[in-house]
Structure 1
């Protein structure tokens, strides 16, 4: 059996502001934006140059879903973004105004910093030692 993780849903408050953030601030690509109904779209974004796991931007449809925006993991780091050039990406995120939660450090697994996205989800930016 062959499997792969294809999409991870991120609950957002607005499709267009989420697309703007992920494509313009994080330099992801918009893979798909299909209207499903007057209130629902199928919006997929992901890192450029990869066919790996991407994000489904899922607009909150009720108060319970809205309560999860930015806190899908109870305050823990939620997403781990590997890079082949930590200095390039960290500098770009700083220029683009992403909030840095933990400054870069060298860990046994590589160089890492923690930042938050537009909703407050925590991310590790990692340049692994063995990338």
Structure 2
């Protein structure tokens, strides 16, 4: 029986730069950083209060996925406050937070140009 999502993969061009972004700017925890072949490492990071992590890895032949909308949404307690905190440390956003009937959200870009949605908790 499936219990949970272990990780989602985020394609990256520069693993060192991506690791620094997720750990230093977003405050994620490094779970593993292991050699994986001659040109890449298997890197997993996780939000400090989350169960699901991100693998910062690009399968060979999938480089065109880098810098796209990921379809991944991460949750925070206060979108406006988190937006301001992340903006202050250099995180890029598509536009300021937007309030919708279903909740407030903002689209951020990681160090590789990948877009993730930041939304409020329930």
Bucket of the pairwise TM-score, normalised by the shorter protein? 0.7 to 0.9
* Local SS of the residue matching 2:11: strand
- 2 CA distance for matches of 1:89 and 1:23? 15
Please identify the structure whose Cα radius of gyration is greater.
1
1:103-118 paired onto structure 2 within 5 Å: 103-118=96-111
Aligned twin of 1:29: 29
| Displacement after TM superposition at 1:35 (Å) | 2.0
| Displacement after TM superposition at 1:115 (Å) | 1.6
Q: How many residues align?
A: 122
Normalization by structure 1: what TM-score? 0.80
Normalization by structure 2: what TM-score? 0.85
Aligned twin of 1:69: 66
Q: Which runs of 5+ in 2 are unaligned?
A: none
Asked if 2 retains the 8 angstrom alpha-carbon contact of 1:43 and 1:58, the reply is: yes
What root-mean-square deviation, in Å, do the aligned CA atoms of Structure 1 and Structure 2 show?
Answer: 1.9
* Alignment of 1:57 onto 2:52: no
* Local SS of the residue matching 1:126: strand
**What do residues 63-82 of structure 1 show as CA deviations (whole Å, max 9, x unaligned)?**
x32222112xxxx4622111
* Local SS of the residue matching 1:19: helix
| Residues 7/80 of structure 1: CA separation in 2 closer, same or farther (3 Å cut) | same
Q: Whose RCO is larger (CA < 8 A, sep 6+)?
A: 2
| Residues 57/120 of structure 1: CA separation in 2 closer, same or farther (3 Å cut) | same
| Residues 77/37 of structure 1: CA separation in 2 closer, same or farther (3 Å cut) | closer
Aligned twin of 1:79: 72
